[in-house]
Amino acid sequence: MTDSYIWEKILERFYSMSITDKKTGQIIKFPYFTKDEQGKITNVFEPNETGDRPTNEVWFEIFPLHSQPRQQELGKAGRNRWTFGLQINVNAPRAIYSGTNVTDKVYDFIAANFKRGDIFDGIRVVQTAYRSSARLLDDYYSEPVTVMVQADLDN
């Protein structure tokens, strides 16, 4: 397993977020992604991506919070354990953020899809998603949501 593989799998998990409605049992896909005519998501910005930030809808910045892998197993072929953060900045224009609970709903979706103990594609969520205080930046609020994950890398 490599760090690029891990990043790819985390992005897959993020882009396919869904929850099950407790009353109806129906699966609800994450409703806050905006897509263009070709079906490409346009309101998520990955590291080093540029583009126009939406002014009338929620948008996201997603990036890893790297740390140093640590030796986990003995010998030259022993794997290294890598624990790092995944940060998702939930950004909402001031008009949307004020008086609504849109960032609460977004956070609930993320937390439901990244729970402590979940394992997907060899990646373990070691801490359920948590959020920090929102801050006002220009004309929008940014609320960071962090997920701590762990994986074993080949040496």
Can you tell me the distance from the alpha carbon of 128 to that of 146, in angstroms, rounded to the nearest whole number?
A: 8
What local confidence, expressed as pLDDT, does residue 102 receive? 79
Per-residue confidence band for 87, with pLDDT thresholds at 50, 70 and 90: very high
pLDDT in tens, 27-85: 999 999 988 899 888 899 988 887 788 888 899 999 888 766 666 666 777 777 778 88
Q: Would you place residue 14 in the very low, low, confident or very high pLDDT band (cuts 50, 70, 90)?
A: very high
120-132 confidence digits (pLDDT tens): 988 889 988 888 8
Domain ranges of the chain: 3-153
Amino acid 76: pLDDT: 73
**Cα–Cα distance between 89 and 155 in angstroms, integer?**
32
Residues 6+ apart with CB under 8 A from 4: none
Specify the CATH class of 3-153 in words.
Answer: alpha beta
From the number of C-beta atoms within 10 Å of its C-beta (0-12, 13-18, 19+), residue 139 rates as exposed
